[in-house]
Amino acid sequence: MARPGWYGEPLTFAEALRRVNPSVLLVDRYFTAFLESNQTSDRPYYADVAGLRQFMTERDADLTCAIKDRSYGTMLVYRLRG
């Protein structure tokens, strides 16, 4: 998933997250739509969504809050551990 011009070896989304090692994950309405539209194995980004789910399980992701904004939409805030 990484752009070859920026990094020598390609990374999946989950591998990139592991390298960055965030303590919080923000999921906005656009990312939510991306996740929802790629939940089955016949979808083009299914592997990335499955990798994200695995990452969130590994990091014991906890939905801390949902921030609702009339103009931007809902932002989910997940706290990551581990």
Predicted pLDDT of residue 22: 97
Domain assignment present for 57: yes
Residue by residue, pLDDT tens for the chain (82 residues) are: 555 667 677 888 999 999 999 999 999 999 999 999 999 999 999 999 999 999 999 999 999 999 999 999 999 999 999 8
Rounded distance between C-alpha atoms, residue 46 and residue 54, angstroms = 12
Evaluate whether residue 20 is within a structural domain: yes
- Could you give the count of Cα atoms lying within 13 Å of 76 in the half-sphere of its Cβ? 13
pTM of the model: 0.84
Q: What's residue 9's pLDDT?
A: 79
Phi, psi of 19 (to 5 degrees): -70, -40
Question: What total of structural domains would you count in the chain?
Answer: 1
In this structure, is residue 58 part of a structural domain? Answer: yes
Residue 32: which of 71, 74, 78, 79 has the closest Cα? 74
3-state secondary structure of 38: coil
| Domain housing 19 | 13-79
pLDDT score recorded for residue 50 = 97
